[in-house]
């Protein structure tokens, strides 16, 4: 028997992964970012991109759930602000890993001959992810209000 929370966590992870995969799609406009995803861990762009967004979603989910678990399963104050902060921290940390650490390790060249710097696309991706998060949050609030409206 699977504990009751496991299917909920997996469903939330799936929803987060679908959202992340769509919201981070604009980073692929950069040939430098496509080059990063095209050669590692497999030799195919789409599976590598999906693996990257899976890692992003898992880290994001862990960053959200661990503090909740440490607070006894609930956050009592300013949950929306806390979730927004954790999302921003996740985005910035991933930007630093991809934009700074991978080039220092020699794993990625963000700028090759005639290309724009791939870190520009990563920054654009952070901005579009933030906008997409605000939009989806607004849609969820509207749906919750519409469903809960008594009249």
Number of domains in the chain: 1
Indicate the pTM of the whole model: 0.86
Per-residue pLDDT of the chain (151 residues), as tens digits, is 567 778 888 999 999 999 999 999 999 999 999 999 998 788 899 999 999 999 999 999 998 888 777 777 666 677 778 788 889 999 999 999 999 999 999 999 999 888 899 999 999 999 999 999 999 989 999 999 999 887 6
pLDDT at 150: 77
pLDDT at 149: 81
Distance CA 137, CA 19 (A): 12
Picking from 14, 9, 17, the residue whose alpha carbon sits closest to that of residue 66 is 9
pLDDT at 75: 65
pLDDT at 81: 80
Alpha-helical (H) ranges within the chain are 5-23, 31-39, 45-70, 79-96, 102-104, 118-148
| Biggest CA pair distance of the chain | 62
pLDDT at 55: 94
Distance CA 135, CA 92 (A): 20
pLDDT at 2: 60
Do 60 and 87 touch, CB atoms closer than 8 A? yes
Range of the domain at 125: 5-148
């Amino acid at each position: 028997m699977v504990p009751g929370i496991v299917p909920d966590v997996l469903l939330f992870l799936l929803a987060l992964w679908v959202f992340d995969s769509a919201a981070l799609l604009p980073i692929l406009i950069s040939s430098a970012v496509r080059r990063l995803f095209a050669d590692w861990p497999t030799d195919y762009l789409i599976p590598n991109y999906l693996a990257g967004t899976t890692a992003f979603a898992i880290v994001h989910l862990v960053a959200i759930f661990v503090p909740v678990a440490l607070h006894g399963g609930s956050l009592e104050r300013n949950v929306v602000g806390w979730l927004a902060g954790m999302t921003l921290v996740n985005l910035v940390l991933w930007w630093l890993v991809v934009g700074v650490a991978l080039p220092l390790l020699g794993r990625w060249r963000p700028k090759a001959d005639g290309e724009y710097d791939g870190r520009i696309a990563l920054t654009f991706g952070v901005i579009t992810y933030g906008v997409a998060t605000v939009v989806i949050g607004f849609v969820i609030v509207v749906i919750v209000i519409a469903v809960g409206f008594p009249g």
